[in-house]
Structure 1
Amino acid sequence: MGKKLHVGCSPLTGTIFAGTVLKDGCTWGAGKSDVTIEALVAVAEHAARFGRPVEITGPDGKLEYRITVEAF
């Protein structure tokens, strides 16, 4: 089985990357890819199917994000 794919957002640039991380769990391995547009389109399509805002809560149950999409 291959390495687990990780997706994350750069705190400096806002770029969304996909790739593998090293054993420390924080450092990107070789071959990360900028998937910003693809990720945003996938999230928009996912959220649009719900027909209402998608809410994401943290481990404590507190609301962290509400995603609303308008299709044109």
Structure 2
Amino acid sequence: MAGLALLALITLWGFICYQLSKFLMKKIASPITKNFGIGFLLFLFFIAPFADDIIGGFQFRSLCKKMQY
């Protein structure tokens, strides 16, 4: 049941990211630029909640290597 809830949450987050990307790119006239912009923003918005954890992991690992004697 928790897996279904997580899948629903990820789907909802993807839908919100897509709608936000579409909203932000609605005034762009060129269809090629508009589609590229939507895809790029969708990617950025979708990974935003996880990017901090990924970057923090690299920084924490680097800090731990410096502290070893």
Structure showing the higher strand proportion among its residues: 1
* TM-score normalised to structure 2 length: 0.28
Q: Which structure has the greater CA radius of gyration? A: 2
Structure showing the higher helix proportion among its residues: 2
Question: RCO greater where, 1 or 2, for CA within 8 Å and sep 6 or more?
Answer: 2
